[in-house]
Amino acid sequence: MRKFWRIVLVIVLLLVCLLLWTQTINVLCDQDVQFFSGICTINKFIPW
């Protein structure tokens, strides 16, 4: 049963990191950073 909670914790941490990453990308896209323009284009096609 302990292993189950460890897996759940890892999944939750990954989801939190993903959310923070997408928020960061969105902020950078709003500022129109040239380096991130490719990522921003991809980001628009992914329904977050």
Q: What is the pLDDT of residue 47?
A: 62
Percent of the chain with pLDDT over 90: 29
What is the mean predicted confidence (pLDDT) over 27-45? 70
Q: What is the pTM of this model?
A: 0.56
C-alpha to C-alpha distance for 26 and 34, rounded to whole angstroms: 13
Residue 21 lies in a domain: yes
Predicted pLDDT of residue 36: 61
Mean pLDDT of 3-28: 88
**Does any domain span residue 39?**
yes
Residue 48: inside a domain: no
Alpha-carbon torsion angle 16, 25, 48, 20, nearest 10 = 10
The number of domains in the chain is: 1
CA 42-46-48 angle, 5° bins: 130
